[in-house]
Amino acid sequence: MKSLSLSAALRIRSYAKVAPGTDIVSAAPNVSLQKARTWDEGISSKFSTTPLQHIFKDKKVVIFGLPGAYTGVCSNKHVPAYKDNVDKFKAKGVDSVICVAINDPYTLNAWAEKLQAKDAIEFYGDFDGSFHKSLELVTDLSGALLGTRSERWSAYVVDGNIKALNVEEAPSDVKVSGAETILGQI
């Protein structure tokens, strides 16, 4: 059996195609996300997706990406901090706090319910990774048996324009992408 160190398994990369000043919708043209939902809700909606312009147009949005549902740091540190600070975001005029991951919307729905965060945070799936790939916010976590995943990142977006962007050096870190950091950037 082959064994890798955590640092080797979780390759480090700290750049992205997007930066403050970038229009996130233009950077990911023709991309839609899938709102977290049950399988039955997926069927009844005919597996609808949400175009990025509907998420960002005329809104102030805090969005954070993470490697995946049910993973340790995501479940124990990243999402809870955003959930615990939703009222502070709303007080600063933020319309929505969004969590996005390269997962299907059904897994994200079950995970959001388990974390009791669905009422505070909007969860969206990027089932094929097209959103994250367009923004160059993907990382290969095959060493941890996860495959292609989202970088751990956060952004403050106003009417589609990225005002602040934070990308972690390693997917196991929550040093710059956490709720407190982005709160200070609004």
What are the residue numbers of the active site? 74
Is residue 153 within 8 Å of 167, Cβ to Cβ?
yes
Half-sphere exposure of 128 (CA within 13 A, CB side): 6
Collapsed DSSP state (helix, strand, coil) of residue 47: coil
Is residue 50 within 8 Å of 34, Cβ to Cβ?
yes
Written as one string, the DSSP assignment of 147-169 is -EEEPPEEEEEETTEEEEEEE-S
Nearest to 71 by CA among 114, 30, 39: 114
CA 171 – CA 55 distance, rounded (Å): 25
Q: What residues contact residue 49 under an 8 Å CB cut-off, 6+ apart?
A: 32, 33, 34
The structure tokens 């995970």 sit at 111
Is residue 49 within 8 Å of 183, Cβ to Cβ?
no
